[in-house]
Structure 1
Amino acid sequence: MHSRPKSSDLLPIGDLARRTGLSVSAIRFYEGKGLVEPIRTAGNQRRFLRSDIRRLSFILIAQQLGLALSEIESELAKLPHGRTPTASDWNAISQSIRGQLDAKITQLERTRDKLDGCIGCGCLSLSHCQLYNKDDYLAAQGPGPRQVLA
């Protein structure tokens, strides 16, 4: 069981918003999702651990990297609750998402290379393209840019 943090180690939600650049409503949203957990004062005010600055920063970075909120939630669930995560805790998360990032990079490179060829032909038509979709055979596979994102 963890000891209760000192009041000097806690931040009001407004201070946390200023430190992270997030709006108070965004912090409340992440709280509702269980990504940060405030401590309630005797007056029922939210107080956050200083380490929640890192949690919220991780959320912002992970979103920029294209991770879904469910993936971010899964990663943050691996961090300890009630104490500041250590460098080792964060390293475990880094290693965990590295594979996801490598797969996204591979997909982006493949898409970039195929897109260059598609735009290069000049027709810009998925239904009439003689290079990638002769006789519109991709229509049977469903909507979307099948060749570019495959």
Structure 2
Amino acid sequence: MQRELSVGEVAERSGVAVSTLHFYEARGLIRSRRTAGNQRRYPREILRRIAVIRVAQRAGIPLATIAAALATLPEGRTPDASDWQALSQAWR
């Protein structure tokens, strides 16, 4: 079983503030699950998603457009290189 990351671990590894992670989650850009103690837990692949969000923002892509693109990614599996390539092509 893959270990999940806490919000603090995600913030530290991604270089994004905890408040930004909460903002991304409120906007539907990322998702977490809640523990019995109501703490957020993220899968490790969230780090790549956050990296894509940050790069897209730096390229001037609006958050609504980023959210719509991320919504096209597969639900039941971790996005692979071809999925990220498709997003990149769509934004060009």
Q: Aligned letter for 2:77? A: R
What residue is the counterpart of 1:138 in the other structure? none
1:78 aligns with 2:63: no
Task: Confirm whether residue 57 of structure 1 aligns to residue 51 of structure 2.
Answer: yes
Q: Which has the higher contact order (CA 8 A, sep 6+)?
A: 2
Of 8, 17, 23, which residue of structure 2 is paired with 1:23?
Answer: 17
User: Which residue is equivalent to 2:27?
Assistant: 33
Q: Aligned residue for 2:84? A: 90
User: Which of the pair has more CA radius of gyration?
Assistant: 1
TM-score between both structures, scaled by the size of structure 2: 0.92
Residues 85, 93 of structure 1: alpha-carbon distance in 2 compared, 3 angstrom cutoff: same
Q: How many residues are matched?
A: 92
Task: Give secondary structure in 2 for the equivalent of 1:47.
Answer: strand
Calculate the TM-score normalised by the size of structure 1.
0.58
Decide whether aligned partners of structure 1 residues 82 and 45 sit closer, same or farther in structure 2, where only a CA change above 3 A counts. farther
Partner SS for 1:34: coil
Structure 1 unpaired stretches of 5+: 1-5, 99-150
How many angstroms does 1:82 deviate by? 4.9
SS of corresponding position for 2:36: coil
Structure 2: segments with no counterpart, 5+ residues: none
Partner of 1:115: none
Task: Report deviation, 1:7.
Answer: 5.2
**Per the alignment, do residues 39 and 83 of structure 1 end up closer, same or farther by CA in structure 2, a change over 3 Å counting?**
farther
Supply the distance in 2 between the matched residues of 1:81 and 1:27 (Cα, whole angstroms): 20
Letter in 1 for 2:38: N
Q: Aligned residues: percent identity?
A: 49
* SS of match in other structure, 1:43: coil
| Regions of 4+ moved over 3 Å | none
| Aligned equivalents of 2:80, 2:51: Cα separation in 1 | 15
- Which secondary structure state, in structure 1, belongs to the residue aligned with residue 74 of structure 2? coil
Deviations 1:15-74 (A, max 9, x none): 000011010000000000111110111222110011111111111100110101111111
Greater fraction helix: 1
